[in-house]
Amino acid sequence: TIMAEDVLPCVKILVIGNGSVGKSSMIRRFCKGAYNENYKKTIGVEYLEKEVEIDGYGDVRLMLWDTAGQEEFDEITREYYKDTDAVVLAFSTDDRPSFETVKSWCSKIKTICADVSMVLVQNKIDLIQQAAVSSQEAEALARDLRMRLFRVSVKESLNVEEVFTYLAQKQLEKE
């Protein structure tokens, strides 16, 4: 019923990282089960939601936000970064600069969203042949930033669900 839906706990999750690392693909894969190599995103903020069942807690509504080409932290960005419960910080296996920007993404997020759960996602692990980041480097960075590392391929539907359910679980444990 509508009543039952209204009382679902909601978790607001932001997916951040450099352009083209696969942020909107990841959200679409998780919420719609779809993957499209040539998808053209709209300008602005992308938003999708999905209900999932979390062990020990029941149904939860995940609200997923993607910066959609708006990688700069302007006032608008700040506005919707508020009230964020959890953050997915993504970089891409074949994109060195996206990996090297992770630390600055991390500190920026911490200035806006205090006390947020964050995970590090290495996307496009299917592109191992073109890897610009070694697994040791990725692990070292995750250790450094005290973040859990998930190796993901949105394309091959590998580990996507795990990322979001992990963050939902973390958030529910906090409340």
Strand partners, 160: none
Measured from the CB atom, the residue of 132 and 172 that comes closer to ligand GDP is: 132
* Closer residue to ligand GDP, CB minimum distance, 127 or 172: 127
Q: Which residues contact 90 (CB under 8 A, 6 or more apart)?
A: 15, 16, 17, 21, 22, 23, 26, 98, 120, 121, 122, 123, 152
Q: How far is the CB of 35 from ligand GDP (least distance, A)?
A: 7
Q: Are 50 and 8 in contact (CB under 8 A)?
A: no
CB of 52 to ligand GDP, least distance (A): 21
**Closest distance of CB 163 from ligand GDP, Å:** 12
In the complex, minimum distance from the CB of residue 65 to ligand GDP, in angstroms, rounded to a whole number = 12
- The nearer residue to ligand GDP, 21 or 138, going by C-beta atoms, is 21
Burial status of residue 135 (CB atoms within 10 A of its CB: 0-12, 13-18, 19 or more): middle
* Alpha-carbon dihedral 111, 112, 114, 118, rounded to 10 degrees: -90
Looking at beta carbons only, is 37 or 115 nearer to ligand GDP? 37
Q: Which candidate, 47, 45, 26, 14, places its Cα nearest to that of 155?
A: 26
- Which residue lies nearer to ligand GDP by CB, 39 or 53? 39
Residue 66 bridge partners (DSSP): 15, 46
1, 3, 37, 74: which one contacts ligand GDP (CB under 6 A)?
37
CA distance 95 to 175: 36
Q: How far is the CB of 155 from ligand GDP (least distance, A)?
A: 3
Does residue number 22 form part of the binding site for ligand GDP (CB under 6 A)?
yes
Pick one of 127, 131, 149, 172: the residue that binds ligand GDP (CB under 6 A).
127
Interface residues toward ligand GDP, by CB under 6 A: 19-25, 37, 41, 66, 123-124, 126-127, 153-155
